[in-house]
Amino acid sequence: MADIIKLLPDHVANQIAAGEVVQRPASVVKELLENAIDAGATLIKLIIKDGGKALIQVVDNGLGMSETDARLSFERHATSKISNAQDLFNLQTKGFRGEALASIAAIAHVDMQTRSDAFEVGTHIKIEGSKIVFQEVVATPKGTSISVKNLFFNIPARRNFLKSNQVELRHITDEFHRVALVHPNIEFHFYNNGSEIFNLPKAKHRQRISHVFGSKMMDRLVPVNEETEVVKVSGFICKPEFAKKSRGEQFFFANNRFIKSPYLHHAVVAAFEGLIKPDTCPGYFLYLDVDPSSIDINIHPTKTEVKFDDENTMYAIIRSTIKHSLGQFNVAPVLDFEHDPNLNTPYAYKEKGAVLPKVTVDASFNPFQEVEKTSAAHTYQKQSAKGWEKLYDGLDSVNTEDFSSIAIESEGEVQGTFYSDSEENGQTGTTFQLRRKYIVSTIKSGMLVIHQNRAHERILFEKFLGEITVKEGVSQQLLFPLELSFSKQELTILKEINESLINIGFAFEAMEQETVKVTGVPLMVSESAIGTILDHLIADYKEGFEGSSISQAEMLAKALSKNLAVKTGELLNQESQLALVNDLFGCKEPTLSPFQKLTHTIISEGDIEKKFS
């Protein structure tokens, strides 16, 4: 039998490695930014065009590279960070695998200019699909500038899986945040399509968080600081009242490296137990300093998933540290059993003496004496009990069959009856609400049970989808414009869906750096709920659009219907119940909600009969 196993060519091996390291433009941004930080840069510029598909450029003022190092940096497993296997357990840098540049060069056009202080001139290298086009001497400032163009140009299938420019820009922004938040001592500039998105000067951690997420974040942060033999925890948590549905402001950093840890995230949520709603997430920016030998960061190609030696202890320390901070800064209620606040003397009464209360008694009052009511005094008058026997007249002739109307009670309130007069006459269409969750109605074939929340979601979804498509949304104008604050990333999402929001009925006067002025809203949205609706809309749109192939209009209609639909627990009157039933069966798809869940079911008369057989 002939030999069938062979070594892969370098360019094929690099493309395979690129599949692990480079998943989208944001992956390239992460690797290049980390390389610039490892090079000791104090100023880093990130330049993006068309969501990173056309251009990703990182310019730094770091150490730079010699001619030989510049050439070797694009070889597989070429790195300056480690020299033996033992170094893997004492890593202090971001990158160490030596696969990033080789993987990027295999699937894109790479142009690099670099110079170190030891040389008067630098090196210019251009690579296309792992092939070196040219290498020459060039006059360039100290540091390194790397441009990555036409990502996935030789892998069309991977390029077709990329999302829209706005979605890819959001992923890039997320990676930028993860790097910028942990390095406040570095100045960052972020440009997209020629316009500056972020200009982050050197600052402390609190100021850096405020610069990234907006000035409103400054007042929301609560410091966290605890040092133990296992880990040193520092950073900030957001006050409970600012917990959001989305998970966009949750950051863990271990030894200055962003990590993902659902287990430790649960520890943070457990510390907020009782202070936030179950479906919300608290914001936090936590920095963990641990012994490098007690953490393994080499278990995943992207190096965001790590393994701690003693995760149970880490969990307990983080949970107790956050609880302590919440209590220390009077964010959470604290019980003091040694002090009774009821014994405190109000300031206005500290200098006043005690005054005995004056009590007057009517000595002539007799509750058993029959007297006439006068205008001067309201005294008790005994009522006559004559004729009480008449209350029981006719009870012997009552027929128990007359009690045919069975009341259905939900949470102490009578919601309706199974058998109404109209139904006994052969009429249908009556409804009642069961447990403030279901609408029950009779039909010819039996009984109809409607899930009120899902049914209303379907009704609103088709309504909003039609308004976005036809652009016929009705708007109610506000008497005074409402100013709302958003972070730059949230503002980017609002600008992305601005046209669709206008078609539904929203009206905006301006969308400036961190402020949005709302001048009109759809008829169904109250003025007090505008901020909450937009927050939920941004969160749902951000989470729902990722990895989805549906249109922006459909996604927006889903998000709005989810937030504005009647919730379980809301009491509906008879007219609202009937309107819900009629509107549901006027929809194109009344059976399923926008989220593919059943809206109603029919219990046939035969099924009911079987229950009594």
Tokens encoding 341: 């606040």
Q: What is the mean pLDDT of residues 32-41?
A: 91
- Assess whether pLDDT exceeds 90 at residue 43: yes
Beta strands in 228-367 (DSSP E): 232-238, 250-254, 257-259, 284-289, 295-296, 307-308
Q: Which of 371-385, 391-405, 463-477 is the most confident on average? A: 463-477
- Confidence bin at 1 (pLDDT 50/70/90): low
Read off the DSSP letter of residue 229: S
- Confidence bin at 488 (pLDDT 50/70/90): confident
Instruction: Render pLDDT for 96-125 as a digit per residue (tens, 0 to 9).
Output: 445 788 888 888 999 999 999 989 999 999
Helices (H) and strands (E) in the chain, counts: 17, 24
Q: Which amino acid is at 45?
A: K
- pLDDT given at position 23: 85
- Assess whether pLDDT exceeds 90 at residue 224: yes
Q: What is the mean pLDDT of residues 442-451?
A: 88
Those residues whose C-beta lies under 8 Å from the C-beta of residue 86, and which sit 6 or more positions away, are none
Distance from C-alpha of 246 to C-alpha of 536, rounded to nearest angstrom = 8
- Assess whether pLDDT exceeds 50 at residue 33: yes
Q: What is the mean pLDDT of residues 314-321?
A: 94
Distance from C-alpha of 506 to C-alpha of 508, rounded to nearest angstrom = 7
Those residues whose C-beta lies under 8 Å from the C-beta of residue 94, and which sit 6 or more positions away, are 34, 35, 37, 38, 257, 303
Instruction: Render pLDDT for 405-418 as a digit per residue (tens, 0 to 9).
Output: 433 333 434 343 33
Least confident span in 54-58, 130-134, 369-373? 369-373
Q: Which amino acid is at 101?
A: L
Distance from C-alpha of 318 to C-alpha of 321, rounded to nearest angstrom = 5
10-49 in b/e form (b: 16+ CB < 10 A) is: eeebbbebbeebbbbbbbbbbbbbbbbbbbebeebbbbbb
13 sits in which H/E element: helix 10-21
- Confidence bin at 266 (pLDDT 50/70/90): very high
Please say whether the dihedral angle defined by the alpha carbons of residues 528, 533, 538 and 539, taken in this order, is positive or negative: positive
The angle that helices 552-564 and 452-470 make with each other, rounded to 10 degrees, is 140
- Assess whether pLDDT exceeds 70 at residue 604: yes
The phi, psi pair for 468, rounded to 5°, reads: -65, -40
- Confidence bin at 272 (pLDDT 50/70/90): very high
- pLDDT given at position 393: 62
Reported pTM: 0.69
Higher pLDDT, 338 or 318: 318
Please count the other Cβ atoms lying within 10 Å of the Cβ belonging to residue 220: 18
- pLDDT given at position 96: 46
- pLDDT given at position 91: 55
Q: Which amino acid is at 419?
A: Y
- Confidence bin at 352 (pLDDT 50/70/90): low
Cα dist from 233 to 253, 255, 291, whole Å: 10, 11, 13
- Confidence bin at 376 (pLDDT 50/70/90): very low
- Assess whether pLDDT exceeds 60 at residue 373: no
When the pLDDT of each residue in the chain is averaged and rounded to a whole number, the result is 80
Q: What is the mean pLDDT of residues 70-95?
A: 63
241-250 in b/e form (b: 16+ CB < 10 A) is: ebbbbbebbb
Q: What is the mean pLDDT of residues 543-571?
A: 77
Q: What is the mean pLDDT of residues 411-433?
A: 50
Q: Are 462 and 587 in contact (CB under 8 A)?
A: yes
Least confident span in 183-187, 188-192, 311-315, 542-546? 542-546
Distance from C-alpha of 177 to C-alpha of 197, rounded to nearest angstrom = 12
- Delineate the domains of the chain, giving CATH numbers in brackets: 10-202 (3.30.565.10), 206-328 (3.30.230.10), 412-613 (3.30.1370.100)
- pLDDT given at position 60: 95
- Assess whether pLDDT exceeds 70 at residue 399: no
What is the SS3 assignment for 455-518?
Answer: HHHHHHHHHHHHHHHHCCCCEEEEEEEEEEECCHHHHHHHHHCHHHHHHHCCEEEEECCCEEEE
